[in-house]
Amino acid sequence: MTDVPLALQPVTESIRIAADPKQVWRAIMDPKAGETWRNAHFRTDWQIGAPIAIEAEIGAKRYHDKGRVIRVEPQMLLEYAYWSQVSGLPDVPQSYATITMTLAADGGETILTVTQKVPPSPVRRGNGWEIGAESGAKHVAFYWRMTLPRLKQAVEEAI
């Protein structure tokens, strides 16, 4: 085993939403987004440099994650970094994931692209199982594949 750190693993998912970027942006910024599409509750004012407190439940466990807002370009781009308790990584800067959400108008629709740079997961082993360094990226890819359609539905139903 090597002590050389692995690079962040990018995961990218996109979705086309039948709404303009202003409507999609409003849904992303909505304080009740956790209830409608995120499956996690975010507490922040979405100002550059502001802290983010994230609460999520996975099964019977409750997780308290945290982060910081990096960039905000209304109706175009949101970028934030966060540390996930479930990652198994220590709360140090290199353990933070970065999420970039870009919105692009296309006709009367919006293409939302989410790119999440995921730190490698620690290898974990149990009786007959092993989770490798790529497990965090696989979890993130699954999360966005399940979550973006929920956002699409929430936006399109609100029109």
User: Which CATH number do you get for residue 68?
Assistant: 3.30.530.20
Q: What is the pLDDT of residues 112-156, one digit of tens each?
A: 999 999 999 888 888 988 888 888 899 899 999 999 999 999 999
Does residue 2 fall inside a structural domain?
A: no
Does residue 3 fall inside a structural domain?
A: no
Domain that holds residue 33: 9-158
Q: Give the whole-angstrom CA distance, residue 26 versus residue 155.
A: 9
Q: Give the whole-angstrom CA distance, residue 119 versus residue 5.
A: 9
The total of structural domains in the chain comes to: 1
Does residue 124 fall inside a structural domain?
A: yes
Does residue 139 fall inside a structural domain?
A: yes
State the pTM of this model: 0.91
Does residue 4 fall inside a structural domain?
A: no
- Using 50, 70 and 90 to split pLDDT, how confident is the model at 97? very high
